[in-house]
Structure 1
Amino acid sequence: ESMRLVKSNLGLGAILAVIVLLLFLGSIRSVLIVAISIPVSLVAVFIVLKLMGRSINIISLAGMAFAVGMVVDNSIVVLENIYRHLTMRKGVMKAAYDGASEVWGAVLASTLTTLAVFVPIVFIEEEAGQMFKDIAITISASISLSLLVSITVIPTLTTLLIRLKPGEPYRPGILHQTLLRPVIVIGENIKNAYSGLLRKLIAKNFTSIVSKVGIVLGVVVLLWWSTRILPEPDYLPYGNTNMVFMMMEPVAGVPAKTNMRYFAPYEKKIVEMEDVARNFLVFSQRFNGGGAIIKPELAHGQRGEVKMAVKSQTMGREIFKIPGYRFAFAVQRPIFRSADKTFQVEITGPDMLKLKSVALQLIGDISSVPGVHSVRPEFKFGNPELRFIPRREQATRLDIGMNEIGTIVESLNAGKYLGEFNDQGEPIDFVFVQKKDKQKLSLQDYKDLPVWTGEGMMTHLGHLADIEISAGPARIDHIEKERAINLLVQVKKDVAMQLVIDEIEKRSLAPVRQTLSEEFGLRAGGSADELASTQKSLMNSFIYAVGFIYLLLVALFASFLRPIIVMLTVTFAVSGAFLGIVGNNWLQRGFIRSILEEWDVPNAQAMAEGWNWITFDILTQLGIIILAGIVVNNAILIIHQMLNNIRSGMDERTALEVSCETRLRPIMMTVISSVFGMIPLAFGEGAGTELYRGMGTALIGGLSVSAVFTLFLVPVLMSLMMDMGFHTTQADLVKDSLGTSPSSEDHPANMPAE
């Protein structure tokens, strides 16, 4: 079902992207030229996957679904520029060549910046890195192939499908002249409004300078506010399965048959539940628990996720009331073993009794932390044991060491192994003193056991050690040779793990740690370590990606300052991703609340308010890293075209204005087609969608917000540079391209180039 759904989302995304192209281009032939890049780029990805030994799975298909809207970006830029040259009556052959060659540098840089993001991701070695590789390979292969398509297939198809000789005027598509005429009118009004506002902003006067500074300050405030709503990070997506897993820990020493008798009444209730397809129970010395498998049709979509959450809570409350168990809880089973949102609290030290005391204190403290589902100890105290506590002074007086006392106890209970004798190939063990009868020794028998010293003196074992019956741990765990007790903390499904870890550290671990000596250790581990390690790898990948992109832009623009302006769009994309996550969660909470109220669930309002439909898991964080390589493309188009205009002889402010106006349409087309292609992934329902809806939401939010800021902030910052005295002239660009220093008489700044 997951494979079917991701395939349908891929197809739906492609259809939505084509519809967007049809609205903008208004010509079926033009849409066909661009749309051909989708199947050509995506089909070739299967060859790449085969060569690299990767499989076709939900993750790789999701990567292709994300790439649907992006593979048309290069083709849109090239085709739009070809059409711009067609309007100059150059003829189709000349327009195709000039249009493709003019934006070739920008398209190449845009593709390389996107690929630069995925190079560090491929080398992530953590568990989550295996999923990253499939997405990285599919998207990077799609984008690379789309570059080849845009500079080869698109110009060729243009010359085949559009017949215009030099001097013939280019006419809009038939749809733009008839059915889609209102779209053209709306687009012209938007363009005129944008041009008028832009002209005022980049002008060199006091009012425009104040406006520019105000815009920059407003952007800074927005960026600061977006950091305040930054969601706490989480590990792998929890997913939505149709199984409620029950975990029970019986009191030590209680037989399994007794535990089964305690649970039997509730087992009958589970069998009678109409929404349960089947169930199972396991009672043994090593594990006690079971599961209820809900009918698949009831666990489908958003209503299914709400259904499973309510079901697990209801069953958890019921089994908690069953007597005879140390703890009992029910939780929905995650799709990944590492995504069960369980981490460990590790308590280490030399004294087991002290560790037990600290553990019991922490269980109560941690259970009260918001977002904690349950806390269960991995240790069991209650196993009966016979404890021998040496009397060191008495033993020393009789010249008997601790090892000798231990040997006496071992010989009495298990016998002392001396060696073996080989009797014609049959090994025979020699054991010194071993009790053979089934009669148990009493406590007094141990105390009265005679012991002879090396000097021939007799004493009793009770004189050398205090012997008592006590309860001890069923097992003793060790962490790096230190005795340890682990507490397993289960986080609620819709709460970020990092948020709970930070809260437990502040409320529980830090105060208790101050009361312990240096011999004892107290920390969060397990999945908490995996989360921290993966976050560190993702952050390093983000830093490397930003560095690669900056160096590529320096090479493209031959400047260290202009790339900084382009890189600022990454910060807006990150802020937009946060806004997208918060906005989608707010929207979905309303739907979830209506479902809960429809089912008359108690505390529906409180339950819906704490529900995070989108969590900031590592796949969502990967989406933000991908944004770094995508959102810079729009700024690259603006600045690259501005430099081309200056090179052709325009004044730099005029060149900036014309560049923004001519790039408005392709930027809007690429952003809207990409966003529409990802909508099914961000808002779709069904099996597997919980894996990639966070990434889809982050990409949609980042692309949308970054596009708006790019269209205004980039020209504002470029004009501020001009106001501050950083100018770019035609002579500078010609000198950079030729590697010589031509005289100003040969290439005056304001004279059109030949």
Structure 2
Amino acid sequence: MKLVDQSVKRPVGVIMIVLAIIALGVISVRNLAIDLLPEIDLPVAVVAVNYPDAAPEEVEKQVSKPIESALSSIEGVETIQTQSQSGSALVLMQFNMGTNLDNALLEVRESVDQVKGMLPESAGDPSVLRFNPNQMPIMWVGLSGDNLTELQSIAEDQVVPQFEREGGVASVSVQGGQDRVIELELDQAKLTEYGLSTQQIMQTLSQVNQSASAGSVAKGDKNLNIRIDGTYTSVEDIRETLLQTSQGATVKVEDIATVNDTFSDAGTTLVNGEQAVVLSIMKQSDGNTVDVSNNIMDSMEDLNQSLPDNVNLQVVVDTSDFIKQSISSVIQNMLFGGLFALLILLLFLKSIRATLVVGLSIPIAIIATFTLIYFTRETLNVLTMGGLALGLGMMVDSSIVILENIVAYRQQGYSMKEAAKQGASELAPAVIASTTTTLVVFLPIVFVEGIASELFTPLALTVAFALIASLIVAITLIPMLSSKLLSNAMSDNGRRYWFDRFLHRFNNSYKGVLKKVLRFRKTTIFTSLVIIIGSLALIPFIGTEFIPQGDQGQLEVSVETPVGTTAEKTTEISQQVNEKLQAYDGVIEVNYVTINSGDAAAGITGGGSSNQASYTIQLVDPSEREQTTEEVMQAIDQDVQSIPGAEITVSAVGAAISTGDPIQIQLNGPESDVLRELADQVVTEISDVDGVYNPTTSVEETTPQLNIQVDKDVAAQYGLTESEVTSQVQTHFTGQTVMQYRENGDDIDVRLTYPDNKKDTISDLKTLMIQNQQGTSVPLETIATFKQEQAPATLTRQNQQQQVNITSDVVGNDLGSVQTAIEEKLDSMTLPEGYTTSIGGQAEDMVEAFSDLGLALVLSIFLVYAVMAVQFENFLFPFIIMFSMPATVVGIFGGLFITNTPLSITAFIGIIMLAGIVVNNAIVLVDYINILRERGMSRYEAILEAGTSRMRPILMTTLTTILAMVPLGLGIGEGAEMQQPMAITVIFGLTVSSIFTLLLIPVIYTYFDDLSEKIKGLFKKAE
């Protein structure tokens, strides 16, 4: 090959190119973004609408259904799900994978704008957002001190602006502080005495608290702008505000209300048992988690120096820690793998110079890979680094084969340059073919759709870059270095004579076995088939799962008391949970909890509930605890279940890969009551399934509701409209913000409220005096009727049909087995007509991913054959080589069974990789058999000679690939769980396949060679 000749003739040019690649690679590494996983661009859009104080049924009827109908006609929509709860509506739109979400969002906004005018006046403007599971806070920072009000002010005025100026930060939210508020506590008796209504008070306050421009006036040769400033500057101004009664008299606000300068009830936020303000940091969509975290940490150091002595900033949870640990573990595994590969090379080559020649291909290929990763805008994450670690052993395969042949020519007496040229040129086509077969298996992954493609396309690109770089090194740098360094390569030496003797005996043993299999060809074929079929029997015992979750050491505890429970009761139960958690002080590093905070349960709508508490728990490093995160989760869950009066759920925090729970059963039908009954039945049925953990339904929670039906005719007789009645009831029981006034640069809400002891009971509601515009009052019970009932806290619809969701975690069993058992339970249930069930969540994602990857595997196998057919310019020999593939199932299923590892999509990627790897040894073997036969050897002698002479490079390439993956296969370090199934699949699959290649492929070769001769004979007779 010309490339080989040029590299030997011009070593200086090759060295300069290598140095340039190294320099470029170093620059690229410094600028590469680091993350846990590749960005998953799920085509999901969200429409959120706030509808304050509206019941779920009202939200569904007046908001959710109109929006749902408008969106249903948009092209590319797969499912539309609406969630209607008290005060808010959420519409989730799942588009088909591959949909351009930017264009889809424009259509969504246009459709929402068309129905915006049909929504209730009190409903807020719909927000159309792009949903991204990766867009969660990456850090929580605690601001601790003695005074919550001071902490809130410091957080908003100093910390938030500083953090938001840092690179990559999208937004910073403050939680747990106290907001100052001015409450005007109205005296109903005084209002009645003076004939004032709440509407009059609100109107007067908003009109007085105004400022305006009034033109300009000349003063000398200048114009002065005229500004009338009537805004409030103090609480005293509000107290002194004059109100005019219907009789023409004037009274002050303080005459009819108690003005309280107080703080809003924002709930309680605790960090390790102490009150604090917590700031959650969101990164930009193109931001890098590790970089943003580092920027925030640097900013915290500066802020801590300028903050008061009694105030301190500390990290509560930093998700980048797990990312750094995971990347560090992968790099460590790569170093060990590389060391193992070099030891194998040294053992076989018996020369430090020869080992150095091949070993140089590893760092150069890695550096070149980093450069290509940088220019394709991929990130360094657990999967791409894992792909690099998996490809580490394969990087030296091409170099080993080339070097082995160069040394063979050198030992035949050729000069160093001639040996380098002849040895590299002779096997370069076979090396290119074997590398190309490994590369093409990744091509279908790039083109399949779904989460599997989103996750593994970066991995595929990384392995492809590494192999391309190693191939170029093998046919350029290796010949050049060999022509300069291999003066006495592989000379016999006493220190390693034991290994030569062992290898000689091994070759002789192999030659004897090879002679036997060639003699008993039918027995060999039959035995191989029995072993392959027998391995398939292991499939039911292996199980399946979506993707292994790394031990991130994070837990979430959700405490939810029945809707309507007082805040005091929720706090009391939360304190009991805190007491239970104290027993885990040795494994809990940070315990961050929000109690009775709207933010605690706040969703994308910004709503929340005061009957909830949310715990975020960070465990100590895995090296400092004996239990896994899952074991700690189960132990805590068992302890807190003894606490009565609340629904307490403990779950582990994993990577945001799927939008659903592990198990999500969807019940669809026309009637909500029937769906609720069916949901209870389903929960009862699946609770007995091994692996089902904490099954819950979306309608478990109901809210006690008192419906007020205003009699419009009676209300009209008293000069009242339904909207006036509604407004006065809302003001009396929930309060109403009427304006804001600015003091010392802060905007402070001013709210109208009534005394707490006047809004505690149903009697207070019934006797509430409703006032008309003339000042006449009438009790509410005179113009309205009351009905108490239990209503669902959330109403869910999917594709314009009522839906109830049953969700469950999976613990102690694999996802596939649990899914199968649940499907059997559901099939045994008799559902009323018009009601259906389906399984979604991660179980559905797993099935879709397996389907996509199965198609990718079939295409990969076809591409491998096509590449070999082109390379050999023959259809027969590639077909012979393909027989090395079926034997891999023995290693794949045997390895997964022995290591008790379920088949996941990462293991499936390992299977696809094997399709390109296992044929490499067969290519080298068959190609050399053909070379020897062309030199005049008989078929039998050529097979024996090729088998024994190619044993050395086959063992070297196989052992370097396998041993380089052993650290990953052992799952050492944080985050290794994700790549472990992939490594196990390749290690066992390649090991078993290599044995079958050395024994079965020669037998297959003889059969097809006989068939080829018969066909040729028939053609000759026909002529």
Which category describes the TM-score, using the shorter chain as reference length? Answer: 0.7 to 0.9
Aligned residues with identical type, % of pairs:
27
* Pair 1:66 & 2:390 matched: yes
Q: Is the 8 A contact 2:669 2:675 kept in 1?
A: yes
Q: Is the 8 A contact 2:969 2:980 kept in 1?
A: yes
Structure 2 unaligned blocks of 5 or more: 1-324, 597-607, 710-719, 728-753, 767-784
Match of 2:515 in 1: 199
Q: Is the 8 A contact 1:341 1:491 kept in 2?
A: no
- Counterpart of 2:795 in structure 1: which amino acid? I
- Counterpart of 1:680 in structure 2: which amino acid? P
Match of 2:211 in 1: none
1:171/1:271 CA distance change after superposition, 3 Å: closer
1:97/1:651 CA distance change after superposition, 3 Å: same
SS state at 1:55 partner: coil
Q: 1:25 aligns with which of 318, 325, 349?
A: 349
* Pair 1:713 & 2:1003 matched: no
1:359/1:490 CA distance change after superposition, 3 Å: same
Deviates more, 1:22-31 or 1:246-255: 246-255
- The 5 A counterparts of 1:139-218 are 139-163=463-487, 172-173=490-491, 177-203=493-519, 208-218=520-530
1:210/1:497 CA distance change after superposition, 3 Å: closer
Match of 2:828 in 1: 511
- Counterpart of 1:199 in structure 2: which amino acid? K
1:26/1:87 CA distance change after superposition, 3 Å: same
1:354/1:413 CA distance change after superposition, 3 Å: farther
| Stretches of 4+ aligned residues off by more than 6 angstroms | 408-413, 436-442
Question: Counterparts of 1:576 and 1:33 in 2: how far apart (Å)?
Answer: 32
Match of 1:451 in 2: none
* Pair 1:112 & 2:436 matched: yes
SS state at 2:442 partner: helix
Q: Is the 8 A contact 2:594 2:614 kept in 1?
A: yes
Q: 1:78 aligns with which of 394, 402, 405?
A: 402
* Pair 1:531 & 2:846 matched: yes
Match of 1:571 in 2: 886
Match of 1:291 in 2: 616
Q: 1:374 aligns with which of 686, 690, 694?
A: 694
Q: 1:322 aligns with which of 620, 643, 647?
A: 643
Q: 2:818 aligns with which of 500, 511, 515?
A: 500
CA RMSD of superposed structures (Å)? 3.4
Match of 1:300 in 2: 623
SS state at 1:571 partner: coil
- TM-score, normalized by length of structure 2? 0.58
Question: Counterparts of 1:727 and 1:156 in 2: how far apart (Å)?
Answer: 46
1:533/1:307 CA distance change after superposition, 3 Å: closer
1:181/1:340 CA distance change after superposition, 3 Å: farther
Q: Is the 8 A contact 2:354 2:489 kept in 1?
A: no
Question: Counterparts of 2:472 and 2:521 in 1: how far apart (Å)?
Answer: 42
Match of 1:693 in 2: 980
SS state at 1:193 partner: helix
Question: Counterparts of 2:466 and 2:530 in 1: how far apart (Å)?
Answer: 37
Question: Counterparts of 1:109 and 1:727 in 2: how far apart (Å)?
Answer: 29
Question: Counterparts of 2:544 and 2:721 in 1: how far apart (Å)?
Answer: 54
Match of 1:242 in 2: 553
- The 5 A counterparts of 1:434-453 are none
Question: Counterparts of 2:623 and 2:682 in 1: how far apart (Å)?
Answer: 38
Match of 2:299 in 1: none
Q: Is the 8 A contact 2:593 2:615 kept in 1?
A: yes
- Counterpart of 1:540 in structure 2: which amino acid? L
Question: Counterparts of 1:78 and 1:192 in 2: how far apart (Å)?
Answer: 24
Q: Is the 8 A contact 2:338 2:392 kept in 1?
A: yes
Q: Is the 8 A contact 2:393 2:963 kept in 1?
A: yes
Q: 1:253 aligns with which of 564, 568, 576?
A: 564
- Counterpart of 1:532 in structure 2: which amino acid? V
1:210/1:524 CA distance change after superposition, 3 Å: closer
Quote the offset at 1:385 in angstroms.
3.8
- Counterpart of 2:558 in structure 1: which amino acid? M
Q: Is the 8 A contact 1:580 1:701 kept in 2?
A: yes
1:64/1:160 CA distance change after superposition, 3 Å: same
Quote the offset at 1:565 in angstroms.
3.0
Q: Is the 8 A contact 1:241 1:333 kept in 2?
A: yes
1:128/1:215 CA distance change after superposition, 3 Å: closer
Q: 2:455 aligns with which of 118, 123, 131?
A: 131
1:224/1:103 CA distance change after superposition, 3 Å: same
- TM-score, normalized by length of structure 1? 0.77
Question: Counterparts of 1:576 and 1:439 in 2: how far apart (Å)?
Answer: 70
Quote the offset at 1:214 in angstroms.
3.5
SS state at 1:179 partner: helix
1:139/1:510 CA distance change after superposition, 3 Å: same
- The 5 A counterparts of 1:334-733 are 334-336=654-656, 338=658, 342-385=662-705, 414=726, 469-492=788-811, 494-507=812-825, 509-512=826-829, 514-517=830-833, 519-585=834-900, 614-724=901-1011, 726=1013
SS state at 1:622 partner: helix
Quote the offset at 1:151 in angstroms.
1.1
Question: Counterparts of 1:222 and 1:90 in 2: how far apart (Å)?
Answer: 50
* Pair 1:274 & 2:590 matched: no
Match of 2:177 in 1: none
Question: Counterparts of 1:228 and 1:718 in 2: how far apart (Å)?
Answer: 34
Quote the offset at 1:340 in angstroms.
8.2
Deviates more, 1:626-635 or 1:48-57: 48-57
Deviations 1:365-411 (A, max 9, x none): 1111101111011224532346799xxxxxxxxxxxxxxxxxx9977
Question: Counterparts of 1:656 and 1:133 in 2: how far apart (Å)?
Answer: 39
Q: Is the 8 A contact 2:538 2:897 kept in 1?
A: no
Question: Counterparts of 2:628 and 2:379 in 1: how far apart (Å)?
Answer: 33
- Counterpart of 2:363 in structure 1: which amino acid? P
Greater per-residue strand proportion: 2
Q: Is the 8 A contact 2:351 2:489 kept in 1?
A: no
Quote the offset at 1:16 in angstroms.
0.8
SS state at 1:691 partner: coil
SS state at 1:689 partner: coil
SS state at 2:937 partner: coil
Question: Counterparts of 2:419 and 2:675 in 1: how far apart (Å)?
Answer: 79
- Counterpart of 2:832 in structure 1: which amino acid? L
Report the number of matched residues. 631
Question: Counterparts of 1:267 and 1:122 in 2: how far apart (Å)?
Answer: 48
Q: Is the 8 A contact 2:420 2:479 kept in 1?
A: yes
Match of 1:605 in 2: none
Q: Is the 8 A contact 1:645 1:659 kept in 2?
A: yes
1:218/1:46 CA distance change after superposition, 3 Å: same
Q: Is the 8 A contact 1:721 1:727 kept in 2?
A: no
Q: Is the 8 A contact 1:227 1:575 kept in 2?
A: no
Question: Counterparts of 1:96 and 1:439 in 2: how far apart (Å)?
Answer: 94
Deviations 1:466-485 (A, max 9, x none): 99532121221110000111
Quote the offset at 1:715 in angstroms.
0.8
1:657/1:540 CA distance change after superposition, 3 Å: same
- Counterpart of 1:365 in structure 2: which amino acid? E
Deviates more, 1:101-110 or 1:19-28: 101-110
Question: Counterparts of 1:366 and 1:113 in 2: how far apart (Å)?
Answer: 46
SS state at 1:54 partner: coil
